[in-house]
């Protein structure tokens, strides 16, 4: 039951963090039609989950439910990412759609790898 509480609390905190960081980033770096706020949240979330995953391979702790499942799960925004890609497609912004999808995937994978490597070594 404690793990469910950790997930619940972490998910709420991660969602609030996503909202604040995404909105602030989008206002700060408004680039025409490119969803920069979601991009920054997704990339930083990938990096964070890489670090946490590598760390919790070394130790077994209930905190992984709070930090990985809860906070990272609430913080990352893949569903929003998918909806924004669909919107770009609907609006005919194909070049931005391709750029956004590829950058998110490639840089996200790279950040998970880098985060994992930082803690693993």
What does the domain layout of the chain look like in residue ranges? 2-120
CA pair distance 18, 41, nearest whole angstrom? 6
pLDDT over threshold 80, residue 26 = yes
**At a CB cut-off of 8 Å and minimum separation 6, what does 106 contact?**
none
Torsion of CA 21, 26, 27, 30, to 10 degrees: 160
User: pTM of the entire structure?
Assistant: 0.79
pLDDT band at 31 (very low <50, low <70, confident <90, very high): confident
Average pLDDT over residues 64-88: 92
76 is in an annotated binding site: yes
Q: Residue 15: how many CA atoms within 13 Å on its side-chain side?
A: 9
pLDDT over threshold 80, residue 32 = no
Contact between 22 and 82 (Cβ < 8 Å): no
CA pair distance 68, 66, nearest whole angstrom? 6
73 is in an annotated binding site: yes
| DSSP symbol at 31 | B
Quote the pLDDT of residue 71: 94
């Amino acid at each position: 039951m404690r793990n469910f509480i950790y997930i619940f609390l972490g998910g709420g905190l991660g969602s609030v963090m996503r909202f604040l960081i995404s909105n602030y980033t989008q206002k700060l770096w408004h680039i025409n039609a490119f969803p920069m706020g979601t991009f920054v949240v997704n990339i930083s979330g990938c990096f964070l989950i890489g670090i946490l995953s590598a760390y919790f391979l070394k130790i077994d702790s209930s905190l992984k439910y709070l930090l990985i499942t809860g906070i990272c799960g609430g913080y990352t925004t893949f569903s929003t990412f998918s909806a924004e890609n669909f919107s770009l497609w609907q609006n005919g912004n194909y070049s931005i759609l391709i750029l956004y999808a590829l950058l998110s995937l490639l840089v996200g994978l790279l950040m998970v790898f880098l985060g994992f490597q930082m803690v693993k070594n």
